[in-house]
Amino acid sequence: MIPDAVRRAVQARLGPVRGASPVSGGCVNHGMRVELADGPVFVKYNADAPPGLFAAEARGLDALRAAAEGLVVPRVLAWAEAEEGAPAWLALEWLHPSPRARDFGERLGRGVAALHRARREDGWGWMEDNFIGPLPQANAPAASWEEFWRVRRLEPQLELARAAGRLPGKVAEWDRLLDQLPELLAPAEADGPSLLHGDLWGGNVLAAPGGPALVDPAVHRGHREADLAMTELFGGFGGGFHAAYGEAWPLQPGYPVRRAVYQLWYLLVHVNLFDGGYGAQTAAVLREALRG
What amino acid positions are annotated as catalytic residues? Answer: 199
Task: Please state, in angstroms and rounded to a whole number, the distance separating the CA atoms of residues 65 and 60.
Answer: 9
Residue 46, beta-bridge partner list:
88
Task: Please state, in angstroms and rounded to a whole number, the distance separating the CA atoms of residues 19 and 125.
Answer: 41
| Furthest CA-CA distance within the chain | 60
Q: How far apart are the first and last CA of the chain?
A: 51
Where would I find the H helices in 141-254?
Answer: 145-148, 155-163, 171-184, 187-191, 224-231, 239-248
Contact (Cβ atoms closer than 8 angstroms) between residue 32 and residue 20: yes
